[in-house]
Amino acid sequence: MIDSIELPNLDDQSMKNRPLLAPMVQRFMWVVGTVLIVICLLPLVLSFAGVNLSSAGPALTPAVVDGLTTGELGEAAHRALRGSFTHTLFEWSSVCAAAFVGLLAFVQYRQTHESSLLIIGVALMCAGAMDAFHTLAADRLSQAVASNTDLIPFTWAICRMFNGAIQLIGIGIFVFWAKRQVKLSTIGIVAISTGFVIIAYAIVHYSATSGSLPQTMFPDAAVKRPFDLYPLIPFVLCGVIVFPLNLRHNPTLVAAALALSIIPQIATQLYMAFGSFALHDGAFNIAHSLKIVCYLVPLSGILAQYIQTHSENERAESRLREYSNALEEGSESLEEATCLAEAAAKSKAEFLANMSHEIRTPMTAILGYTDLLMDPDHRETEFENTVQTIKRNGEHLLILINDILDLSKFDAGQMTVERVECSLSQVALDVESLMKVKADAKGLSLGVEQTGAVPRTVLADPTRIRQILINLTGNAIKFTETGEVRIILCMIDPPDTHNPRIKFQVKDAGIGMTEEQLAKIFEPFQQADTSTNRKFGGTGLGLSISARLVKLLDGSVSAESTPGEGSCFSIELPMTSAEDMELIENLDAIRNAKPKPSQMCKSKLANQLNARILLAEDGPDNQRLISFHLKKAGATVEIVENGKIAHDRAMEELHNGTPFDAILMDMQMPVMDGYAATTLLRNEGYSEPIIALTAHAMASDRQKCIDAGCDDYATKPIDRALLFETIQRQLRQHAGVVVA
């Protein structure tokens, strides 16, 4: 049960901020208001038109009764009581209408908690109760001795007065006390209303049992029933002040209907006060009819409000269902994402475990064999094997690091490709040469085949294609115990077609894979299963990187495998032929081609750098290693340990007229790093070659070095041949430097 009612805030600021009536409320008021005005004026028009709306019957005088038979007497009695019957019908219709609308208002209040609904319900229930008392007394169903000629008009006026007073006081409380934020008790409202009903009943009962009542009808006066002017006071106050304020601060359909109900309320009293001079005359019946309309007008607002609320609830439920569906979909997506995240976390955990093993294994060999070299009892005959073991494990560590870097480049969107003129046949032969040592160590046959004619040179990225083939060939060798591994090269489409493609295949006779294993081999951190790693090693990154590289080259990769028989990996790449395209039928033309001078000179690196070089490097081990290689190649080397000293020495020698021929600048150093030192040198007019040395191998890192002012870029660990080639290239671009 609702114990109290919280009134709306009606302070001055809230009144200023209140919106105008909603379009729906405005339309409702126009339509219902127009209908009510027509209903109220129509009886007046009909009366002027001569229509008799009276229900009064002929009086049963002794002269009329005399001589009538029993049947005729009954008919005469019915005609005489026609007005009373009509009055009873009107009144009990009013009672039923008031009770029905009052109950409906209570029901709607329980759903919407709109304050005015409670007052409407109380007012209508009270009005219905008073109409019932009035009718019971008039029909002599309760104790009554007063004449109906005086009783009916007098109790009518009293009931109407009480009806108006209840509405005025009830709605007025909500409007004028709302500023105090008063909470009214529902029990209190019912108690007050019950008090009104008891008082009204007491007055009606007193009037009905009174031997003398005041005269209420004056047929010859302008105001026929002056007592009916008094109820106009509360109704006019409601219509002019209280109901408009309530509508302004509570702009609902119910409040609008309540405001409109004043029209028939006032019309009822006007018809009765100025038009009714006798019981059951036309104005009397019109007033009773309009009283029923007064009770039904709030019904229209309640029904309209119910329909509106029902529509809003349906829309809200529809939106709630949409939100619920979206939430359910989101929950499913979240659950799926959670599963994917857990799977990814599990894969990465396995990857980290594998990486830990992969890194510790070569590190164990490197540290162990280094200890052997330091052992005075170590035999010199084992020296070369020990060094080769250390070198091999170091190269393996470098491959691991490069794989991780490649994967991070893909994730960061920094992996790029180039288009240069190259021979794909030569790339395949290079891979054969690089991987032959591994194949021979396992007793496997490794070869390259070419099926059909292919262009001698194309525009492609030989570095990325070589990396892909090395990964695939290395995997094939790893998982093959006996037999052969073949690299096959062929054209899918003729070179003169619109979109020619070239195909590489790497076939092995290894352990093979199942369909389930094939489905996930190109995912990062994945191998056929965890036992594969334990038996054959590896991080599970090679195939994932290869697949991403193929996609970056606008190609496609696929795999076929049969357990126990071997696997075949196929790569299809789009091909752009170089100018003056020449086709070769087999690989003999490539194998028998003489090496270029630049290739031949790589085996003659010693004593080729006739130059003064400033080496800026803070690591003592790297200082010794790099300076050893440079001095062995014939260069004069000066070592500094930070960028500040490098800047000072370079500018000092420049001012002395003996600048260094080149500076090898480590980019990560204390005091002043290589970026700042290079930028400062360039800003001061230093124009000699500066080559960056850095352990960062990303494309963005190279660009950062170039942007700082470096002429070229070399990565750590140092590739001696590549470093010398870079230095020679820069020396050739600067006049006055002689390269032997």
Give mean pLDDT, residues 99-112. 82
For the chain, give the percent of residues with pLDDT over 90: 21
Please tell me the distance from the alpha carbon of residue 200 to that of residue 194, in angstroms, as a whole number.
10
Give mean pLDDT, residues 412-436. 80
Tell me which residue of 162, 134, 160 sits closest to 146, measured CA to CA. Answer: 134
626, with CB counted inside 10 A (0-12, 13-18, 19+), is buried
Residue 70 is predicted with a pLDDT of: 73
Locus of tokens 């003489």: 594
Please tell me the distance from the alpha carbon of residue 681 to that of residue 674, in angstroms, as a whole number.
10
Dihedral of alpha carbons 676, 682, 686, 691, sign: positive
Mean per-residue pLDDT of the chain: 81
**Contacts of 394 by beta carbon, 8 Å cutoff, 6+ apart:** 362, 366, 717
Give mean pLDDT, residues 355-359. 65
Give mean pLDDT, residues 523-529. 55
Residue 12 is predicted with a pLDDT of: 44
Q: Is the pLDDT of residue 535 over 50?
A: no
Please tell me the distance from the alpha carbon of residue 254 to that of residue 423, in angstroms, as a whole number.
88
Read off the tokens for 693. 């040395």
Which run of H or E residues covers position 612?
strand 612-616
Residue 364 is predicted with a pLDDT of: 75
Residue 432 is predicted with a pLDDT of: 87
Q: Is the pLDDT of residue 32 over 90?
A: yes
Give mean pLDDT, residues 487-513. 85
What is the per-residue pLDDT across 219-264, written as a single tens digit (0 to 9) for each? 889 999 999 999 999 999 999 998 898 888 888 888 899 899 999 9
What is the per-residue pLDDT across 552-588, written as a single tens digit (0 to 9) for each? 888 899 889 888 888 999 999 888 776 667 888 888 7
3-state SS class at 155:
helix
Tell me which residue of 215, 214, 217, 213 sits closest to 274, measured CA to CA. Answer: 217
Report whether 390 contacts 369 (CB < 8 A): yes
Q: Which amino acid is at 187?
A: I
Q: Is the pLDDT of residue 13 over 50?
A: no
Please tell me the distance from the alpha carbon of residue 110 to that of residue 118, in angstroms, as a whole number.
9
Q: Which residue has the higher pLDDT, 673 or 700?
A: 673
Is the pTM here over 0.75, yes or no? no
Please tell me the distance from the alpha carbon of residue 423 to that of residue 502, in angstroms, as a whole number.
12
**Contacts of 215 by beta carbon, 8 Å cutoff, 6+ apart:** 150
CA angle 718/720/722 to nearest 5° reads 90
Q: Which residue has the higher pLDDT, 643 or 246?
A: 643
Q: Is the pLDDT of residue 695 over 90?
A: no
**Contacts of 531 by beta carbon, 8 Å cutoff, 6+ apart:** none
What is the per-residue pLDDT across 275-301, written as a single tens digit (0 to 9) for each? 998 888 999 999 999 999 998 898 888
Residue 65's pLDDT band (boundaries 50, 70, 90)?
Answer: low
Residue 17 is predicted with a pLDDT of: 46
Locus of tokens 């031949």: 600
Q: Which residue has the higher pLDDT, 535 or 518?
A: 518
Residue 184 is predicted with a pLDDT of: 55
Task: Tell me the C-alpha to C-alpha distance, in Å, between residue 296 and each of 100, 125, 140, 245.
Answer: 9, 13, 28, 22
Residue 273 is predicted with a pLDDT of: 93
Residue 564 is predicted with a pLDDT of: 86
Q: Is the pLDDT of residue 613 over 90?
A: yes
The DSSP code for 238 is I
Strand partners, 568: 507, 560
Report whether 1 contacts 186 (CB < 8 A): yes
Residue 434's pLDDT band (boundaries 50, 70, 90)?
Answer: confident
What is the per-residue pLDDT across 170-184, written as a single tens digit (0 to 9) for each? 788 777 765 555 555
Residue 354's pLDDT band (boundaries 50, 70, 90)?
Answer: low
Give mean pLDDT, residues 650-669. 93
Q: How far is CA 578 from the centre of its chain?
A: 50
Residue 673 is predicted with a pLDDT of: 92
Residue 246 is predicted with a pLDDT of: 84
Q: Which residue has the higher pLDDT, 688 or 198?
A: 688
Residue 533 is predicted with a pLDDT of: 46
Residue 118's pLDDT band (boundaries 50, 70, 90)?
Answer: confident
Q: Is the pLDDT of residue 631 over 70?
A: yes
- Give the strand pairing for 454-455 and 183-185: unpaired
Residue 41's pLDDT band (boundaries 50, 70, 90)?
Answer: very high
Give mean pLDDT, residues 602-630. 80
Please tell me the distance from the alpha carbon of residue 295 to that of residue 437, in angstroms, as a whole number.
106
Q: How are the residues of the chain apportioned to helix, strand and coil, as percentages rounded to the nearest 5?
A: 60, 10, 30
Please tell me the distance from the alpha carbon of residue 144 to that of residue 134, in angstroms, as a whole number.
11
Residue 346's pLDDT band (boundaries 50, 70, 90)?
Answer: confident
Give mean pLDDT, residues 329-345. 83
The DSSP code for 511 is -
Residue 15 is predicted with a pLDDT of: 43
3-state SS class at 658:
coil
SS (H, E, C) 339-369: HHHHHHHHHHHHHHHHHHHHHHHHHHHHHHH
Read off the tokens for 521. 């081999």
Please tell me the distance from the alpha carbon of residue 218 to that of residue 220, in angstroms, as a whole number.
6
Locus of tokens 């140092």: 718
Query: Which range is least confidently modeled, 340-344, 521-525, 596-600?
Result: 596-600
Residue 590 is predicted with a pLDDT of: 77
Residue 606 is predicted with a pLDDT of: 42
